[in-house]
C-alpha cells in the first residue's frame, strides 16, 4: 500500500472512531487548532516539530500526516532533509528507519497521482 492509500485509510478509520466519541474528537480538533495558532512559530515550523516527534515515537500514520501538512505549508524536500538529519542525530538507528519512511512519503506525495 502506498503512502496516499495509507493516509486515506487512516483518515477513514479516524472518521469511524470520531463518530463513536464526538466530544473527544472535537476536543482533539480544538487542541490541534489552538496549537497551530500560537504566534511564535509558523505552521511550517510547528509541523517540523510534529514530524520530529512522530519519528521519535515511531508513529508512521503521524509521519504521513505531518509530511503531507509540511508540503501544504510550503516546505521543500531540502528542508525536510535537514529536519530528518536532526531526527537521526537525536534518535539513532530507529530514527534513521522512520526518517526513511518520511522521505519516501514525501517523494510519493510529490509525484503526480496515478
Name the pTM for this structure: 0.87
For the chain, residues with pLDDT lower than 50 are none
Q: What is the mean pLDDT of the chain?
A: 95
**Residue-level pLDDT at 62:** 97
Protein fold of 3-110: AhpD-like (1.20.1290)
For position 114, what pLDDT does the model report? Answer: 72
Ranges of each domain in the chain: 3-110
Q: Are 95 and 59 in contact (CB under 8 A)?
A: no
| Confidence (pLDDT) at 4 | 94
Amino acid at each position: 500500500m502506498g503512502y496516499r492509500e495509507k493516509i486515506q485509510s487512516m483518515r477513514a478509520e479516524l472518521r469511524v472512531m470520531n463518530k463513536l466519541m464526538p466530544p473527544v474528537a472535537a476536543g482533539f480538533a480544538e487542541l490541534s487548532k489552538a496549537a497551530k495558532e500560537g504566534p511564535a512559530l509558523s505552521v511550517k515550523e510547528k509541523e517540523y516539530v510534529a514530524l520530529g516527534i512522530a519519528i521519535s515515537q515511531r508513529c508512521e500514520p503521524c509521519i504521513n500526516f505531518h509530511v503531507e501538512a509540511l508540503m501544504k505549508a510550503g516546505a521543500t524536500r531540502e528542508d525536510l532533509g535537514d529536519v530528518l538529519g536532526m531526527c537521526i542525530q537525536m534518535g539513532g538507528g530507529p530514527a534513521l528507519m522512520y526518517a526513511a519512511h518520511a522521505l519516501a512519503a514525501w517523494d510519493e506525495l510529490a509525484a503526480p497521482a496515478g
